[in-house]
């Protein structure tokens, strides 16, 4: 995914106004009718149409006239809205090189005014799993908000909330700086993903530190669920930092035991294969951790669970709600079919929309009321929910 931020410089206030209007329209429309964009943006003398052309040229929007004339944001368009907001807030002043391509994200370096380099993660939920999304179309149909914008925003919100909480509780994670839309800004971790490391000075210590993190997480009520050599960073002093939190679950999750064991097994397997570590030996070499282990040296979830803390529940009160968690988990686990109680809560009501709008403070209040008059289009686009879009780039 190329992020040509130079374009940012050439975009005017009106450009961003129209881009924001499309974003707002997408809360209720997969493809936002051009005429609605114009009504939200309220530019004089048909200015909206000229601006739309410009945004299309820069690939910030996608044009679709298959059912009616309309537009939707591209990833790039959404990126720009988030980046612009971050820049306006003074979080950073420049976007640099891409430092990571994750399964469902793109990571860039960004620079603060004083030259400090941070990491910016742009979530792209739905990019890899698009087919899964498509197969859930029946389910999604009832939730116009269930699209990549929404999911990516949820993922960022969750990641930010968890990173903050984990940091507060002394876990080695990046410092969570700011989030907006699908974007999380955090401190830049020195070092490399463990997967790139061929040999270690203190293999046993590193191993025990890593297993210790999984155990301590569970003791706090949480399971990482993607705890592996790609999401563990290590620096030249063999200091460990854990990253990548959107899929974390509570120890009260129905599959908690399985997720925990899987996280542990990933680490055991990696160390066995890469570093030839023999676990019986390392067991005697623990740095004071005395948690229950089974005969192969693996920590026992059922023992830890008994005394697990409440970080999972605290997080539920952190702005990332239980409903958010349900939505994101259902997507991640692909459990759409378990949606028997077909509630309609997932759909943003116009009130939700206006509320979010005011909160985000991205467009003046008197434009948002226009959306209230516009419920008529909704039924037209149910078949377009969760388009693949330009996701392969």
Distance between CA atoms of residues 239 and 62, nearest Å: 44
Residue 91: partners with Cβ closer than 8 Å, 6 or more residues away: 110, 112, 118, 177, 178, 185
Beta bridge partners of residue 70, listed in sequence order: 33, 64
CB 124 to ligand ADP: min, Å: 8
- Give the number of other Cβ atoms within 10 Å of residue 207's Cβ: 23
* Residue from 15, 23, 38, 104 in contact with ligand ADP (CB under 6 A): 104
Binders of ligand ADP in range 119-158 (CB under 6 A):
119, 121
Nearest to 34 by CA among 49, 20, 15, 19: 49
Please, are residues 173 and 166 in contact by the beta-carbon 8 Å criterion?
Answer: yes
Which range binds ligand ADP by CB under 6 A, 18-26, 64-72, 78-86, 186-194?
186-194
Q: Reply yes or no on whether 14 is catalytic.
A: no
> Binding to ligand ADP by residue 193, rule CB under 6 A?
yes
Tokens of 63: 């044009």
Q: Helices 148-168 and 322-333, interaxial angle, to 10°?
A: 110
Residue with tokens 């705890």: 227
CB closest to ligand ADP, residue no: 102
CB 231 to ligand ADP: min, Å: 5
CA atoms within 13 A on the CB side of 255: 13
Q: Between residues 26 and 233, which has the closer beta carbon with respect to ligand ADP?
A: 233
Q: Between residues 231 and 329, which has the closer beta carbon with respect to ligand ADP?
A: 231
Binders of ligand ADP in range 318-357 (CB under 6 A):
none
Distance between CA atoms of residues 112 and 129, nearest Å: 33
Q: Between residues 231 and 250, which has the closer beta carbon with respect to ligand ADP?
A: 231
Q: Between residues 108 and 139, which has the closer beta carbon with respect to ligand ADP?
A: 108
Size of the site for ligand ADP (CB under 6 A): 18
Q: Between residues 33 and 174, which has the closer beta carbon with respect to ligand ADP?
A: 174
> Binding to ligand ADP by residue 1, rule CB under 6 A?
no
Contact pattern for ligand ADP over residues 268 through 297, marking x by CB under 6 A: ------------------------------
Given the rule CB under 5 A, which residues bind Mg ion? 102, 231, 244
Beta bridge partners of residue 117, listed in sequence order: 111
Distance between CA atoms of residues 188 and 291, nearest Å: 32
Active-site position among 226, 263, 312, 374: 226
Distance between CA atoms of residues 132 and 141, nearest Å: 14
Site of interaction with ligand ADP (CB under 6 A): 99-100, 102-105, 107, 119, 121, 174, 186, 188-189, 193, 230-231, 243-244
Q: Among all residues, which ones are annotated catalytic?
A: 226
């Amino acid at each position: 995914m190329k992020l040509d931020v130079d374009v940012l410089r050439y975009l005017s206030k009106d450009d961003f106004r129209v881009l924001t209007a499309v974003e707002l329209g997408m809360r209720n429309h997969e493809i936002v009718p051009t005429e609605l964009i114009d009504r939200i943006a309220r530019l004089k003398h048909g200015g909206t149409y000229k601006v739309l052309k410009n945004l299309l040229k820069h690939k910030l929007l996608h044009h679709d006239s298959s059912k009616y004339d309309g537009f939707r944001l591209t990833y790039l368009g959404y990126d720009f809205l988030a980046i612009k907001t971050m820049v306006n807030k003074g979080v950073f002043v420049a976007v640099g090189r891409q430092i990571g391509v994750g399964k469902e994200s793109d990571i860039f370096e960004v620079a603060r005014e004083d030259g400090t380099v941070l990491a910016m993660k742009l979530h792209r939920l739905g990019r890899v799993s698009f087919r899964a999304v498509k197969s859930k179309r029946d389910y999604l149909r009832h939730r116009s908000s269930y699209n990549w914008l929404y999911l990516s925003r949820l993922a960022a919100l969750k990641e930010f909330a968890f990173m903050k909480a984990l940091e507060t509780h002394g876990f080695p994670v990046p410092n969570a700086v700011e989030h907006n839309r699908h974007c999380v800004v955090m401190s830049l971790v020195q070092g490399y993903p463990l997967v790139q490391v061929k040999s270690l000075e203190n293999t046993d210590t590193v191993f025990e530190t890593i297993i210790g993190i999984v155990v301590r997480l569970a003791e706090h009520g949480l399971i990482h669920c993607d705890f592996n050599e790609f999401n563990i960073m290590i620096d030249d002093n063999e200091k460990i930092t854990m990253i990548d939190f959107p899929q974390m679950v509570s120890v009260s999750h129905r599959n908690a035991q399985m997720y925990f064991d899987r996280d542990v097994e990933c680490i055991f397997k990696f160390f066995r294969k890469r570093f030839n570590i023999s676990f019986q030996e390392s067991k005697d070499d623990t740095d004071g951790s005395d948690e229950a282990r089974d005969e192969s040296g693996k920590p026992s979830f059922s023992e830890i669970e008994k005394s697990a803390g409440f970080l999972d529940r605290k997080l539920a009160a952190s702005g990332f709600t239980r409903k958010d968690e349900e939505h994101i988990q259902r997507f991640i686990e692909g459990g759409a079919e378990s949606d028997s109680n077909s509630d309609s809560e997932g759909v943003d009501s116009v009130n939700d929309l206006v509320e979010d709008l005011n909160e985000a403070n991205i467009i003046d209040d008197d434009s948002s009321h226009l959306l209230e008059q516009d419920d008529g289009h909704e039924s037209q686009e149910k078949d377009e929910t969760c388009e693949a879009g330009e996701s392969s780039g």
